[in-house]
Amino acid sequence: MITGLAMITALLMGCDTAATQPADLTGNWAVTITTAAGKITGKASLKQTGDKVTGQIGPSDDATISIEGVLTDRRLTLKTHPRPGRTAAFDTCELTISDEKLVGTIQGGDAGKGTIEFARTNP
């Protein structure tokens, strides 16, 4: 009886640990921004090191700006860093991680307020 209880406890603890492991966000993503003015589509490439996320985002591979962010639990906060003379659709976004998608809201930038979705295009 005690052995069975110990095995169940160990199994439950293992499941809890797996559920709290941070997602690996490294890879390529299709991005859709939706505002009152319409939809904007683009691409992002992210690299994750621990809880830090860096990368590029833009309407195409040859028109990107750098982004950086911090992953906390299942939330990612990203900030854009356009080069001088360039603008960005958003200044910051707050994303919730679920399966192969990141969904959240944007603030600032050319688009103002709206929603944003990242859908993984490769692992």
Alpha carbon distance 4, 88 (integer Å): 57
Q: Maximum distance among all alpha carbons in the chain?
A: 70
Question: Would you say the C-alpha torsion 111, 70, 118, 98 has a positive or negative sign?
Answer: negative
Min mean pLDDT across 75-79, 108-112, 114-118 is at 108-112
Q: Which amino acid is at 113?
A: K
Alpha carbon distance 91, 84 (integer Å): 14
Instruction: Please write down the long-range contacts of 67-71, taking CB distance under 8 Å and 24 or more positions apart.
Output: 71/22, 71/23, 71/25, 71/97
Q: Which amino acid is at 108?
A: G
Domains in the chain (CATH in brackets) are 23-120 (2.40.128.120)
Task: Compute the CA torsion angle 87, 110, 30, 39 (nearest 10 deg).
Answer: -150
pTM, full prediction: 0.78
Give the pLDDT score at 123.
56
Q: pLDDT tens digit string along 89-110? A: 999 999 999 878 999 999 998 8
Reply yes or no on whether the pLDDT at 12 is more than 70. Answer: no
